[in-house]
């Protein structure tokens, strides 16, 4: 896997998040081998608008599991943007289900103070669907609309 | 022309004035049409994917500001807060993944009998669109109209309902906040339809008129267009020549959707979905399940459960997160519900629940309780003699139910309508499903589906009086025309050089 120039974690929070994610590799099991995307942590919506994260790491689905590395991937499929507040709360969850529910909440009910997530697509929607990102989004709690009304 | 200069937008529940906004005059409307027309080239300077990426980013802006938008939707639209989430999700999901629509616009090579590919079909934006949207959706439809035009490269002037334009104005202002490129090719018109539509019809700059309206209003637009055409006749050469060019009309109209419940389903689950599908947004939805057709063997049991589900629906203050039914959009809708129920009573129908109004005597805080009316099947086939409630769209919380003897009878009853937007079926008999898919006369068939989906694949459109042109459709697909291109250069260059 190629990773970007930045090859160290800038924040403890990002490092803790990677440790957390490595406990739940099954979250990424819907993605085809070779899927790679960035997790970017922002301290405000404004910094997200300016594409100025406090830290970034990338996750590769290598077919056997996941590889997590600091920095942006060279050719990321998308960026999952998260506020600091969201990451702080996400890493406190105990189960994959709890994590997915909270992640979905941050997507569906974004709040500058309580936390938010978003994603920025680098590849075409159809390509991402074919790579399994649609199912990934469901598993991860984003795009779940079963109880929206 | 003497026109109003400003509009007071009222809260549909409390009657308070939310905001007073300036209204367009014929002169300002003309200026907006001209400006958007002249700036359309800005859209064409970007690729489809650049425009798609910009809309996708805008979806994030909408989502981050959803609370502000939801407050407006609830206040000016009267939609319950929990429904406003759905209303917004339609556009935020649609815009986030809007490059998905490229599959309808992707250039298609055609292979000749000899196996050569000299021909391509390329999809070209039609030109400036005038879009008119209804009062029941303060943001989803007007913004979808605007976004679809932006996506394919058409300029657009969008006229939201004068009853609820604030949410759309807020969304447009968010486009300004993010400096959305080519925004000068888009604008909002605040004007009543009565004269704005005539101006759209007369303008040489407008190539497409897309309206979401009652079928009868759409037909009236065609009559008005005919009058404008007639005035444009030039007889100087001895024959009538119409100087006005063709316009593209794109009408999304009424629905009178049938919902069939067969005798092999979980009645509790289906009744729950039925209540949601029939009464969400106080039934003020074109695709609402309006004519419920139930297999005779489960009829009594199902009705009992359905009534319980309907009576669970809470109506009242739309800001209350538990409220399912908000105030009606206008007094006209309240009157129409009363007329439909009164007319139905002449046919000796059975009213299972509802048929009561809450009338403040004002133009706000109006409710009609969710109502279910049984109509005997023998009254449903001959539309000239059928109750008004069966044959026309009930754009409010009054629904009819009737009994089918079997599958074929259910299909016959479902097809006994002048409308064909959607048809819904609940059955667990896998052998019957294909028959429903083939025989039901509607542009969109939903088999065993949860209601109110916001999946990007959800199509609009209809057949019969539900839409023109007919068929299921996605807006971007309708806003381009196919161009045939034969390029024989490789074959003939040596001959013609």
Task: Report ipTM (2 d.p.).
Answer: 0.90
For residue A2, what pLDDT band results from cuts at 50, 70 and 90? very low
- Name the interface residues of B facing A (CB cutoff 8 Å): 49, 53, 56-57, 60, 63-64, 66, 82-83, 85-86, 89, 93, 96-100, 102-103, 178, 276, 280, 450, 452-454
- How close, in Å, is residue A126 to chain B by CA atoms? 6
Q: Residue A81 half-sphere exposure, CB side, CA atoms within 13 Å?
A: 24
DSSP letter string, A30-95:
TSPTT-EEEEEEESSHHHHHTT--SEEEEEEE-SSSEEEEES-BTT-SEEEEEEHHHHHHHTT--S
A93 is a domain residue: yes
Predicted model pTM: 0.95
Strand partners, A117: A82
For residue A146, what pLDDT band results from cuts at 50, 70 and 90? low
A34 is a domain residue: yes
A66 is a domain residue: yes
- Residue A63, Cβ density class (10 Å: 0-12 exposed, 13-18 middle, ≥19 buried): exposed
Strand partners, A118: A81
A78 is a domain residue: yes
- How close, in Å, is residue A70 to chain B by CA atoms? 25
CATH class of segment(s) B6-253+474-483: alpha beta
* Rounded distance between C-alpha atoms, residue B50 and residue A40, angstroms: 22
Q: Which residues of B touch A45 (CB under 8 A)?
A: 64
Is CATH 3.40.309.10 correct for B257-453?
yes
- Residue B317, Cβ density class (10 Å: 0-12 exposed, 13-18 middle, ≥19 buried): middle
CA distances from A125 to A78, B47, B124, B373, B440 (A): 10, 16, 22, 45, 32
Number of domains in chain A: 1
Q: Quick one: pLDDT at residue B3?
A: 59
CB B368 within 8 A of CB B353: no
Query: Would you state the structure tokens that stand for residue B372, as one six-digit string?
Result: 């279910």
CB B318 within 8 A of CB B327: yes
Q: Which residues of A touch B85 (CB under 8 A)?
A: 108, 148-149
How many other C-beta atoms can be found within 10 angstroms of the C-beta atom of residue B154?
A: 26
A120/B57 touch (CB, cutoff 8 Å), yes or no: yes
A60 is a domain residue: yes
Q: Exposure pattern of B438-449 as b/e (b: 16+ CB <10 Å)? A: ebbbbbbbbbeb
Residue with tokens 């049938």: B258
Q: Which residues of B touch A143 (CB under 8 A)?
A: 93
- Residue A11, Cβ density class (10 Å: 0-12 exposed, 13-18 middle, ≥19 buried): middle
Q: Computed over its alpha carbons, how large is the radius of gyration of chain A?
A: 14
B99/A124 touch (CB, cutoff 8 Å), yes or no: yes
**Searching chain A, which residue's CA lies closest to the CA of residue B321?**
A149
How many other C-beta atoms can be found within 10 angstroms of the C-beta atom of residue B163?
A: 19
Which CATH number goes with the domain that contains A38?
3.30.1050.10
A4 is a domain residue: no
- How close, in Å, is residue B79 to chain A by CA atoms? 12
Q: Quick one: pLDDT at residue A144?
A: 61
CB B377 within 8 A of CB B413: yes
Structural domain containing residue A74: 12-139
Per-residue pLDDT of chain B (497 residues; tens, 9 = 90+): 445 689 999 999 999 999 999 999 999 999 999 999 999 999 999 999 999 999 999 999 999 999 999 999 999 999 999 899 889 989 999 999 999 999 999 999 999 998 889 999 999 999 999 999 999 999 999 999 999 999 999 999 999 999 999 999 999 999 999 999 999 999 999 999 989 999 999 999 999 999 999 999 999 999 999 999 999 999 999 999 999 999 999 999 999 999 999 999 999 999 999 999 999 999 999 999 999 999 999 999 999 999 999 999 999 999 999 999 999 999 999 999 999 999 999 999 999 999 999 999 999 999 999 999 999 999 999 999 999 999 999 999 999 999 999 999 999 999 999 999 999 999 999 999 999 999 999 999 999 999 988 888 999 999 999 999 999 999 999 999 999 999 999 999 999 99
Peptide bond into B8 cis (omega under 30): no
Which segments of chain B belong to CATH 3.40.605.10? Answer: 6-253+474-483
CA terminus-to-terminus distance, chain A: 42
HEC string of chain B equals CCCCCEEEEECCCCCCEEEEEECCCHHHHHHHHHHHHHCHHHHHCCCHHHHHHHHHHHHHHHHHCHHHHHHHHHHHHCCCHHHHHHHHHHHHHHHHCHHHHHHHHCCEEECCCCCCCCEEEEEEECCCEEEECCCCCCCHHHHHHHHHHHHHCCCEEEECCCCCCHHHHHHHHHHHHCCCCCHHHEEECCCCHHHHHHHHHHCCCCCEEEEECCHHHHHHHHHHHHHHHHHCEECCCCCCEECCCCCEEEEECCCCEEEEECCCCCHHHHHHHHHHHHHHHHHCCCCCEEEEEEEHHHHHHHHHHHHHHHHHCCECCCCCCCCCECCCCCHHHHHHHHHHHHHHHCCCCEEEECCCEECCCCCCCCEECCEEEECCHHHCCCCCCCCHHHHCCCCCCEEEEEEECCHHHHHHHHHCCCEECEEEEECCCHHHHHHHHHHCCCCEEEECCCCCCCCCCCCEEEEECCEECCEEECHHHHCEEEEEEECCHHHHHHHHC
CB B279 within 8 A of CB B310: yes
Which segments of chain B belong to CATH 3.40.309.10? Answer: 257-453
Q: Quick one: pLDDT at residue A58?
A: 97
A146 is a domain residue: no
By Cβ distance, the residue of B64, B178, B276 closest to A149 is B276
* pLDDT per residue as tens digits for the range A96-113: 889 989 999 999 899 999
A73 is a domain residue: yes
% of residues, chain A, pLDDT over 90 = 79
């Amino acid at each position: 896997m190629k990773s970007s120039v930045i090859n160290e974690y800038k924040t403890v929070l990002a490092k803790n998040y990677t440790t957390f994610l490595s406990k739940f590799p099954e979250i990424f099991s819907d993605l085809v081998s070779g899927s790679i995307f960035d997790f970017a942590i922002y301290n405000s919506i404004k910094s997200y608008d300016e594409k100025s994260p406090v830290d970034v790491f990338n996750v590769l689905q290598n077919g056997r599991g996941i590889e997590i590395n600091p920095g942006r991937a060279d050719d990321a499929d998308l960026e999952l943007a998260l506020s600091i507040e969201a990451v702080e709360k996400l890493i406190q969850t105990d189960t994959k289900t709890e994590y997915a529910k909270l992640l979905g909440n941050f997507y569906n009910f974004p709040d500058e103070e309580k936390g938010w997530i978003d994603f920025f697509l680098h590849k075409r929607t159809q390509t991402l669907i074919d790579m399994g990102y649609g199912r990934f989004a469901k598993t991860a709690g984003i795009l779940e609309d079963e109880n929206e009304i | 022309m003497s026109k109003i200069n400003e509009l007071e937008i009222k809260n549909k529940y409390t009657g308070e004035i939310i905001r007073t906004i300036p209204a367009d005059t014929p002169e300002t409307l003309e200026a907006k049409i001209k400006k958007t027309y002249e700036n359309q080239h800005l859209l064409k300077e970007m690729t489809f994917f650049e425009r798609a990426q910009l809309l996708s980013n805008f979806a994030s802006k909408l989502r981050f500001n959803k609370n502000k938008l939801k407050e407006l939707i609830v206040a000016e639209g009267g939609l319950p807060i929990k429904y406003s989430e759905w209303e917004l999700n339609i556009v935020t999901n649609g815009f986030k993944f809007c490059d998905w629509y490229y599959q309808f616009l992707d250039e298609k090579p055609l292979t000749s009998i000899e196996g050569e590919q000299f021909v391509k079909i390329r999809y070209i934006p039609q030109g400036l669109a005038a879009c008119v949207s209804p009062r029941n959706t303060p943001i989803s439809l007007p913004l979808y109209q605007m976004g679809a035009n932006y996506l394919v490269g058409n300029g657009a002037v969008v006229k939201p309902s004068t009853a609820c334009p604030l949410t759309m104005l807020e969304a447009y202002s968010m486009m300004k906040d993010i400096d959305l490129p080519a925004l000068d090719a888009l604008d909002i018109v605040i004007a009543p339809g009565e004269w704005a539509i005539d101006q759209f019809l007369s303008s040489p700059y407008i190539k497409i008129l897309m309206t979401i309206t009652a079928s009868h209003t759409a037909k009236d637009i065609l009559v008005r267009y005919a009058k404008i055409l007639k005035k444009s006749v030039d007889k100087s050469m001895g024959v009538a020549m119409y100087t006005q060019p063709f316009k593209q009309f794109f009408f999304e109209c009424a629905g009178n959707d049938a919902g069939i419940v067969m005798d092999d389903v979980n009645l509790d689950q289906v009744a729950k979905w039925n209540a949601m599908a029939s009464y969400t947004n106080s039934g003020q939805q074109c695709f609402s399940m309006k004519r419920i057709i139930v297999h005779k063997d489960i009829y009594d049991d199902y009705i009992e459960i359905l009534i319980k589900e309907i009576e669970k629906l809470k109506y009242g203050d739309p800001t209350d997160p538990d409220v399912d039914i908000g105030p009606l959009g206008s007094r006209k809708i309240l009157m129409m519900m009363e007329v439909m129920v009164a007319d139905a009573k002449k046919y000796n129908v059975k009213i299972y629940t509802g048929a009561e109004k809450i009338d403040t005597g004002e133009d706000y805080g109006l409710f009609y309780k969710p109502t279910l009316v049984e109509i005997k099947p023998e009254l449903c086939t001959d539309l000239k003699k059928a109750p008004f409630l069966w044959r026309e769209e009930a754009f409010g919380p009054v629904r009819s139910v009737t009994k089918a003897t079997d599958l074929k009878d259910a299909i016959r009853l479902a097809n006994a309508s002048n409308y064909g937007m959607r048809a819904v079926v609940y059955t667990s008999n896998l052998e019957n499903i294909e028959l429903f898919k083939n025989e039901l006369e509607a542009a969109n068939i939903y088999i065993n589906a949860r209601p109110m989906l916001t999946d990007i694949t959800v199509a609009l459109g209809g057949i019969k009086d539900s839409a023109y042109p007919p068929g299921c459709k996605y807006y971007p697909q309708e806003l381009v025309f196919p161009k045939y291109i034969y390029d024989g250069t490789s074959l003939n260059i040596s001959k013609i050089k």
